[in-house]
């Protein structure tokens, strides 16, 4: 899912999913991600995903917070 996103490519092993919400049809999702490097270097993103052809694709990214 994060293959084509520049913000998480190098920190993939430090990325965790904090929350997932789906629409009724389960074709779109809002995902909250946290990238935690250390207590003074962490950040969060909200992603909108859409299921297209059986695969999930990132269609929107918002920077949510930084520590």
pTM comes to 0.79
- 26: its two tokens: 């389960």
Give 32: exposed, middle or buried? Use CB within 10 Å, 0-12, 13-18, 19+.
middle
Could you list the pLDDT tens digit for every one of the 67 residues in the chain? 666 666 666 777 888 999 999 999 999 999 999 999 999 999 999 999 999 999 999 999 999 999 9
Strand partners, 52: 55
What is the predicted pLDDT for the residue at 11? 78
What is the predicted pLDDT for the residue at 8? 65
The domain segmentation of the chain, as residue ranges, is: 12-66
């Amino acid at each position: 899912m994060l293959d084509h996103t520049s913000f998480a490519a190098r920190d993939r092993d430090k990325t965790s999913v904090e929350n997932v919400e789906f629409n009724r049809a389960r074709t779109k999702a809002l995902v909250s991600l946290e990238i935690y490097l250390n207590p003074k270097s962490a950040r969060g993103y909200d992603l909108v995903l859409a299921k297209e052809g059986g695969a999930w694709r990132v269609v929107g990214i918002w920077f949510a917070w930084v520590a």
